[in-house]
Structure 1
Amino acid sequence: MELLIHKTEPVVNESLEKWESVGHGGFGHVYKARHKDWGVDVAIKILRDGVCHFMPLCDEANRMHQASCEFVLRLHGIYQGCPPGGTSTQQGLVMEFMETGSVESLQKDLSGPPLWPLVCRLAHQVAVGMNFLHSRKLMHHDLKPSNVLLNVDLNAKLADFGLSRVSTSALNSNREIMRGIEGSYKYMPPEAFEVSYEPVRSFDVYSYGILLWSIITGKEPYPSAAFALVELKIPVGDRPKCEKIDQMREEGLKELVDLMKKCWDGSPSERPTFKNCLAVTENVFSKNKEGIHDAVGHVLTTLKSPTKCQSNTTLALNVPLQPPEQSESIATVDNVILTKTERSPIQDSVRISTTSTTDKATFVDDNRAKLIQNVTEVMAITDHLGDLVHRETYSLILGKATSQEKMRVLYQRALRSGGEEVKAAFYDALKYHQPKLVERLGG
């Protein structure tokens, strides 16, 4: 949709329908709406009063349009009208709608980071997008997980860099506004806490370093630290802790961590350019590229699950006491009371099982060779095991070409070392996905 924003008619209320509020941030409120003529859903970001006026917004929108890139959010036009619940005419941006949310929302849904191949792809795509912006002499100024949006296939797109640029003067002249942009100060370099500081490209590079830490760990940096504490500690060298990262064993992790620490260096001149970052992120992603299809599939399946990241094989449910008339039927699985409506698919398949945890583990051990040879639904079973399979082991399983190789890794890395509980959970998952195999083996 090639256009020059200032020469194009604004998008008005008559063109939009099915408004839905989807979020808010430091700059304004975001709505999802259907554009009647275009036939697509769009995101409408309504700017807060006082952020900027219409003509400066048009100029900034044109700069955003110049940054058209695969990994930068696409801008469709300018909105001018009265949004739902509003009382006056307001301005905003009309952008493509990213239905999977952001890296921030993904971390919350997964209660941690995604699988390693997707971590590597996100790190690389953000670096590509930022390198493109810098090559067009544009800066972001607010790079953080909530501003890295995700499309339906979990590809990353940078958002809000234009709004950050519009508000640069406000950020430098009003410390309260800077505090009000939730989380932004945690991604700011030490020099940015000086009142007279004006952002340059190394600002974005520092933010990228903190963002890398967040993508790798799935966590927010300094979760309980207020602005005043961050403003005090960052200039003296404090950074997010890396102890847990150092315990991870992933292909290319060391390279990403080294890059992360170079990016958040206290001296702006020592930070790499995004062109330098690309050489690292592209190499790391290439080492893990074969696993990206399964990693994305796993995450999308998890996001669609009603319980999201909760393990489907966890039988120790906290079932509230109910009067007898509220329970349609009751079953006992390994001494856990389950109502009919509370059973997972695996629990429903085993019904009233009298097989003990020890018997299930013995079955798995006695049939190790036959299971490695005959289990075909390895990834489905691994997904059901959830947190019982370590993320590193999951990545290794993804990387194997055949079911036998996948099953061998699952047994050696998870079942053998996990004890009776993990083997029993595997037995239940196997009975659900391949009941005839369990029956044939005498289970």
Structure 2
Amino acid sequence: MALLSNKSVRHESLENLEHIGSGGFGVVYKARHKDWDFDVAIKVIREAASSQLSHSSPIVNDEKALHDEADHMDTASCPFVLRILGIYQGNPPKMSKGIVMEFMGRGSILSLRNELSGPPPWPLAFRLAHEVALGMNFLHSKNLLHQDLKPSNVLLDDDLHAKLADFGLARVSTSALKNEETTGVLGGSYKYMPPEAFPLTYKPVRAFDRYSYGILLWSILTGKEPYPDAEYARVHLRIPLGDRPDCKEIDLQKAEGLKELVDLMKRCWDAEPSNRPEFKECLEVTESVLSMHKKGIADAVHRVLTGLGSPTTAHNSNKSPSFSVTPQTQDSSLSFAEQPKSYDSVDGFMIQKKLDSDSAENLTDSDKAKFIDTNRAKLTQGVSEVLAIVEELGDMVHGETYSTISAEPTSQGKMRVLYQRTFRSGGIRVKAAFYDVLKKHHPDLV
């Protein structure tokens, strides 16, 4: 593979490694490249897997997936897709091979939404919508699918420009060779999956990404996550029956072009795959809408960056930044969702609200651990989107345990595994860390 030989990055060329995220596939680090003198991001196979040595089949498969992802990123290189810089050769036994990518200093649409507690100003929202469509159009032009388009996989640079990331599920489309688009691998987050994708026999096609884009548009325009309280089984049941995110909370009078973008959004999530517009057609709408607001983009970006850079916003995400965003109505999920709670779920991450009392701020780690132990039953039943919280714990959760948690079909089952495996062996430190994450994502439970 030419990519591997031409773009090798040795561990010795990196310094100041900092863990910034974890997932089912791997761990992401930030590092400074000594020769290049700028920061990079490194996505490596999970440490738990790499410690098993390369003789076991899971490692071989993971490395193949990593190499495939690297090739797809190289093929899809454009201004709106995260750029690959090389292949990390690893520092066994702690770290295995990985992908070296450009570092996106402003996080993702997900993290931006968390910090703003709502949508960005309209000009920026319209630019994000357009840039995502540009990236997806380029991806499809290269006969690639994304299959996991969602807020956390759209990263933002220092000027809040969007780039598509996480091609761990991307596969080459054969539609260039056949009339029927097929890929053979199913993946993606269930809230962004089209109705036809839930059967196990489904083979993803380009229409999969078009549907996901429609749901992503809703999320950008509302500053919320669809169906915040609905687990997989309920989404699996209701989406094929026609339920979609509620559009009533989008006031079409708030911005010029908003009606056109909402109309596009609804076409993208049409139940019939053939009715969903290709990204080339989506671009005609998003470019037209963006052109109406180009004069306001610079100011919108400046206001957002000023707000994100303020001490209040940086250290207390439950408060809005120092600019106004469109006020949102009471959370209104689909008809099958539970009654609204005092928080909004954002792709598994809860937007932090003001706690009723500041007394929790003074708890010791021992107090926090005792709370986790004492309230086991309550937390097992009440914590939703467990995987998202587990990912924030990073290396505190063993890779094998992460896989076991992922395999559990219900939130309650995931929490039981967490208690049995991680909390039992991790002691006060892990429980205290879990409490802190819980306080941010589930303030109603603490």
Q: What TM bracket, shorter-length normalisation?
A: 0.5 to 0.7
How far off its partner does 1:78 sit? Answer: 1.3
Q: Which residue of 1 aligns with 2:133?
A: 127
Q: Which residue of 2 aligns with 1:38?
A: 36
Q: Are 2:110 and 1:101 aligned?
A: no
Q: Which residue identity does 1:152 align to in structure 2?
A: D
Q: Which residue identity does 2:90 align to in structure 1?
A: G
In the alignment, the residues of structure 1 paired with residue 20 and residue 204 of structure 2 have an alpha-carbon distance, to the nearest angstrom, of 30
The alignment covers a number of residue pairs equal to 305
Task: Summarize the Cα distance change of 1:137–1:164 in structure 2 as closer, same or farther, 3 Å threshold.
Answer: closer
2:90 and 2:97 in contact (8 A); partners too: yes
How far off its partner does 1:79 sit? Answer: 1.6
Q: Which residue of 2 aligns with 1:15?
A: 13
In the alignment, the residues of structure 2 paired with residue 296 and residue 69 of structure 1 have an alpha-carbon distance, to the nearest angstrom, of 22
In the alignment, the residues of structure 1 paired with residue 273 and residue 314 of structure 2 have an alpha-carbon distance, to the nearest angstrom, of 39
Q: Which residue of 1 aligns with 2:22?
A: 24
> Equivalent residues in 2 for 1:153-192 (5 A)?
153-165=159-171, 172=186, 184-192=189-197
Q: Which residue of 1 aligns with 2:91?
A: 82
How far off its partner does 1:163 sit? Answer: 4.4
Give the % identical residues. 61
Task: Summarize the Cα distance change of 1:247–1:64 in structure 2 as closer, same or farther, 3 Å threshold.
Answer: closer
Q: Are 2:75 and 1:69 aligned?
A: no
2:118 and 2:326 in contact (8 A); partners too: no
How far off its partner does 1:90 sit? Answer: 1.6
- Of 219, 222, 225, 1:220 maps to 225
How far off its partner does 1:164 sit? Answer: 3.7
In the alignment, the residues of structure 2 paired with residue 56 and residue 272 of structure 1 have an alpha-carbon distance, to the nearest angstrom, of 30
Task: Summarize the Cα distance change of 1:96–1:19 in structure 2 as closer, same or farther, 3 Å threshold.
Answer: same
Q: Which residue of 1 aligns with 2:296?
A: 291
Q: Secondary structure at the match of 1:165?
A: coil
Structure 1: state its 5+ residue gaps.
173-177, 315-382, 393-443
> Equivalent residues in 2 for 1:252-267 (5 A)?
252-267=257-272
- Of 240, 254, 272, 2:277 maps to 272
1:6 and 1:59 in contact (8 A); partners too: no
How far off its partner does 1:64 sit? Answer: 1.5
Q: Which residue of 2 aligns with 1:92?
A: 98
- Of 238, 242, 247, 1:242 maps to 247
How far off its partner does 1:133 sit? Answer: 0.6
How far off its partner does 1:27 sit? Answer: 2.4
Q: Which residue identity does 1:196 align to in structure 2?
A: T
Q: Which residue of 1 aligns with 2:116?
A: 110
In the alignment, the residues of structure 1 paired with residue 98 and residue 22 of structure 2 have an alpha-carbon distance, to the nearest angstrom, of 13
2:45 and 2:95 in contact (8 A); partners too: no
- Of 133, 149, 157, 1:151 maps to 157
Task: Summarize the Cα distance change of 1:54–1:390 in structure 2 as closer, same or farther, 3 Å threshold.
Answer: closer
Q: Secondary structure at the match of 2:210?
A: helix
Q: Please, what TM-score do these two structures have when normalized by structure 2?
A: 0.64
Task: Summarize the Cα distance change of 1:291–1:143 in structure 2 as closer, same or farther, 3 Å threshold.
Answer: same
1:115 and 1:391 in contact (8 A); partners too: no
In the alignment, the residues of structure 1 paired with residue 111 and residue 19 of structure 2 have an alpha-carbon distance, to the nearest angstrom, of 16
In the alignment, the residues of structure 2 paired with residue 169 and residue 5 of structure 1 have an alpha-carbon distance, to the nearest angstrom, of 23
Q: Which residue identity does 1:15 align to in structure 2?
A: S
In the alignment, the residues of structure 1 paired with residue 306 and residue 251 of structure 2 have an alpha-carbon distance, to the nearest angstrom, of 29
2:69 and 2:170 in contact (8 A); partners too: no
1:6 and 1:62 in contact (8 A); partners too: no
1:27 and 1:163 in contact (8 A); partners too: no
What is the CA deviation profile of residues 251-300 of structure 1, one whole-angstrom value per residue up to 9, with x for unaligned ones? 11000000000000011011000000000000000001110000000000
In the alignment, the residues of structure 2 paired with residue 224 and residue 164 of structure 1 have an alpha-carbon distance, to the nearest angstrom, of 28
1:110 and 1:309 in contact (8 A); partners too: no
Structure with max Cα Rg? 1
In the alignment, the residues of structure 2 paired with residue 169 and residue 66 of structure 1 have an alpha-carbon distance, to the nearest angstrom, of 17
1:64 and 1:162 in contact (8 A); partners too: no
2:252 and 2:258 in contact (8 A); partners too: no
How far off its partner does 1:171 sit? Answer: 6.0
Task: Summarize the Cα distance change of 1:310–1:56 in structure 2 as closer, same or farther, 3 Å threshold.
Answer: closer
In the alignment, the residues of structure 1 paired with residue 230 and residue 276 of structure 2 have an alpha-carbon distance, to the nearest angstrom, of 25
How far off its partner does 1:56 sit? Answer: 5.2
In the alignment, the residues of structure 2 paired with residue 169 and residue 270 of structure 1 have an alpha-carbon distance, to the nearest angstrom, of 20
In the alignment, the residues of structure 2 paired with residue 229 and residue 193 of structure 1 have an alpha-carbon distance, to the nearest angstrom, of 12
In the alignment, the residues of structure 1 paired with residue 208 and residue 265 of structure 2 have an alpha-carbon distance, to the nearest angstrom, of 14
How far off its partner does 1:92 sit? Answer: 1.6
In the alignment, the residues of structure 2 paired with residue 202 and residue 224 of structure 1 have an alpha-carbon distance, to the nearest angstrom, of 26
How far off its partner does 1:81 sit? Answer: 1.4
Q: Which residue identity does 1:38 align to in structure 2?
A: W
Q: Which residue identity does 2:217 align to in structure 1?
A: L
Q: Which residue identity does 1:240 align to in structure 2?
A: P
More helix per residue: 1 or 2? Answer: 1
Q: CA RMSD of the aligned region, Å? A: 2.7
Q: Secondary structure at the match of 2:312?
A: coil
How far off its partner does 1:91 sit? Answer: 2.1
Task: Summarize the Cα distance change of 1:26–1:250 in structure 2 as closer, same or farther, 3 Å threshold.
Answer: farther
How far off its partner does 1:6 sit? Answer: 3.0
Q: Secondary structure at the match of 1:71?
A: coil
2:210 and 2:268 in contact (8 A); partners too: yes
In the alignment, the residues of structure 2 paired with residue 171 and residue 231 of structure 1 have an alpha-carbon distance, to the nearest angstrom, of 18
Q: Secondary structure at the match of 1:196?
A: coil
Q: Which residue of 2 aligns with 1:306?
A: 311
Q: Secondary structure at the match of 2:89?
A: strand
2:14 and 2:32 in contact (8 A); partners too: yes
How far off its partner does 1:53 sit? Answer: 4.1
